[in-house]
Structure 1
């Protein structure tokens, strides 16, 4: 892409190559880009069809993975404390169900934040996206807690920072 921009600057009459959407990935053992498209659609409260995976307006940056970093509250707060706009994903051992939540406010172990933008969701068993369940917060102010996740049947935990994509204009 940089070469195309440079050639366009040096030789403006030259016919540019057609830009094709870049193959995007998400560093997750739990969800695919199809899931991320749905989550981004829910964050934006967009009605109708979800974003195409090439049009997701957010970056999903992995902050924590339980199997890599541990499941303790201390680890959660060290890696995710002070972060706003995060997604927490959990996979249940016995059912393979994937549950998640979007937290719009800053993670803090000393205070609870109130928000009407947060929501919870489920993708059912495995990586199915056919019948997702979305539950929006109606009364803000619920606290979230992570305690002994592996002992309670959690197979995997991932936490992502959600940030707007950087767009380069040509």
Structure 2
């Protein structure tokens, strides 16, 4: 079909002068396979019967040819290409939003081309930060002009870096000039601690600085009423994007921070305990079944109001995932990674730990239990449906664990 010029309905101008090539293709196929091309087509609709014409100046023609064959055929043998070309294919896949292809290329490079990556680290570093997914819209140099959305963007970008900054070692002048103007992105307890330190030199901080080391679990037990050590091992592999058959070198320590039967099942209790905590894993036991559902949230939980216009109740991350187990058979599982990163985490204050626009939503309960079937899973923002049943379900128990990355 790719070679059939007769029925094409779009021309694509690929490359930049003087290296430009025109490709002919079919909108229906490109729409289905590439969400980014779908967006471009939606803004270039023709009211007459003339062909749609779009430009992709940032992709080399020879690389787009490879990508186009993959889009039509669904196959791509990376071993046929030089490493530098594989990197260019990865960049093009990112620009076109081919989310199913990106992790496979990344995994191939890491496993098979580690020496090349090390030798060409400067190029990889520069290329990474040229990608849109590594950057945010430019912010003003004056934080007094920031909107709430600007602060949220900055907060989401830096939240994993803030714990690594030696804030307690700053001078009062450094804190006043460099930290205080951006105080809105700091966790509240950390900000209060810093104020007390710089106003009272005898004060000892309550917030502990995070060690820049990964916390490894050498103990085979886990404090859970729902999952076992084997479940934790599999989830650890998913966090590190390892295949199920890969050997696990580092099992994260799952530290229980919330349990419904102990702390209460209400959304208020969940947010009271879990807000401003990152790298958390939610484990949910479905009532009257062997089903275990869950999700991984690498960014902080927050309590937000629902906004149908800005959708500000959602947290953005590309690393979250949801999953399901049969409690008695660990091999019977489903892993579903986020595909719509703008809607990865549901921070609506009247929901418990929830993911996507309905992919896994935990509605409110009482202090002692969930007494109704109001939680649900409906695929929208993640790759796969994690429950066979699409209706509502009741929660018997749920737990939140935190890990140190």
What is the TM-score with the length of structure 2 in the denominator?
0.33
Partner secondary structure for residue 67 of structure 1: helix
Contact 2:318–2:338 (CA under 8 A) maintained in structure 1? yes
**CA 1:50–1:39 in 2, change beyond 3 Å: closer, same or farther?**
farther
Higher relative contact order (CA 8 A, sep 6+): 1
Q: 1:27 maps to which residue? A: 223
Cα 1:148/1:34, change in 2 over 3 Å: same
Looking at secondary structure, tell me which structure has more helix per residue: 2
Measure, in 2, the Cα distance between the counterparts of 1:29 and 1:50.
Answer: 27
Match of 1:39 among 210, 218, 235: 235
Q: Secondary structure at the residue paired with 2:339? A: coil
Alignment of 1:102-121 (within 5 A): 102-110=296-304, 111-121=313-323
Show the counterpart of 2:340: 139
1:148: which partner in 2? 364
| Native 8 Å contact 1:38 1:51 kept in 2 | no
Q: Contact conserved, 2:276 with 2:301, CA < 8 A, in 1?
A: yes
Q: Does residue 1:101 correspond to 2:302, yes or no?
A: no
Computing the radius of gyration from Cα coordinates, the structure with the larger value is 2
**Is structure 2 residue 400 aligned with structure 1 residue 163?**
no
Decide whether the 8 Å contact of 1:99 with 1:122 is kept in 2: yes
- Higher strand fraction (1 or 2): 1
* Partner Cα distance (1:56, 1:71) in 2: 32
Q: C-alpha deviations, 1:112-164, integer Å up to 9, x for none?
A: 3101100000012x232012100000111144332224122100010001114
Contact preservation (8 Å) 2:324, 2:333: yes
SS for the counterpart of 1:163 is coil
Q: What secondary structure does 1:74 align onto?
A: helix
CA distance in 2, matches of 1:114, 1:127: 33
Partners of 1:28 and 1:58 in 2: how far apart? 15
Return the alpha-carbon distance in structure 1 between the equivalents of residues 318 and 218 of structure 2. 34
SS in 2 for 1:47: coil
Alignment partners' CA distance in 2, 1:122 and 1:154: 14
Instruction: Give the secondary-structure state (helix, strand or coil) at the position aligned to 1:57.
Output: coil
Match of 2:261 in 1: 67
Contact persistence 2:275–2:303 (CA under 8 A)? yes
Distance 1:95 1:48 in 2: 25
Q: What root-mean-square deviation, in Å, do the aligned CA atoms of Structure 1 and Structure 2 show?
A: 1.9
Shift of 1:47: 2.2
